[in-house]
A = this chain, B = another copy of it.
Amino acid sequence: MSMIDLSPPAAGQRGPVEHGVRDQIVDAARAHFSRFGYGKTTVADLAKAIGFSKAYIYKFFDSKQAIGQAICAQCLDKVLAGGEAGVVEGKSAADKFRRYFNGLISTSAELFFEDKMLYDIAAHAAEEHWPPAVAYMTSAEDRLKAIILLGRETGEFERKTPIDETCEAILLVMQSFMNPLMLKHNLDGLPEAPTKAINLVLRSLAP
């Protein structure tokens, strides 16, 4: 299970990319955001936590929001990893498909219940189209496309519909569960609801 790195451009960063202090900042931010929430932690708090001055933090990040995006990217990476873990276990394309979305959704839900504060950052990122949220969707689309192409090769899935349209449509209909902003409002139907949606999509993929 290899972690996906969706933040190579890493917008909002500056200064030395590989630097121990950067990691200290991120670690402190994750801890503080998780405990007190994004809004209630000040960059002075983070500075105090790592033993440097507030100004020094701005040698590594453009803004507090950039730090938030870094934490958000971590969360969304974990969610994607949760999906990825399912894929490798899947025997058929349909099986991989089912496990992929179940992995994404259950990892998201887990984040919601066990780290509400961080989840709220992810939801906010989705609402404001933060780069990590966009990257998350792009990454999910790529993975989805690979699964569908596999299914088309093995003859499990139909081949008439243009692949891009298929992927786009699937992401659209699964958004109620994939998008943290929307999943929040559909938690009551877990885990049956997404399963029903997945079944419907698989029916639509039938040859």
Contacts and interface: CB of A to CB of B under 8 A. Distances in A.
Copies of this chain, tallied across the complex = 2
Contacts of A172: 176, 189, 193, 196-197, 200
A131 to B, nearest CB: 17
A169 B197 contact: yes
Interface residues of A, number: 29
Contacts of A193: 172
A48 to B, nearest CB: 37
Given A182-B185, A204-B204, A173 B197 contact: yes
Interface in A158-181: 158, 161, 165-166, 168-170, 172-176, 179, 181
Interface of A (DSSP majority class): helix
Interface in A135-171: 158, 161, 165-166, 168-170
A199 B169 contact: yes
Contact of A173 (B168, B174, B185): B174
A207 to B, nearest CB: 10
Contacts of A158: 203
Nearest to A199: B169
Report, nearest first, the 9 A-B pairs whose CB atoms are least far apart: A204-B204, A173-B173, A203-B204, A169-B200, A169-B196, A172-B197, A175-B176, A200-B204, A173-B197
Interface string A74-87: 00000000000000
A127 interface: yes
B173 A181 contact: no
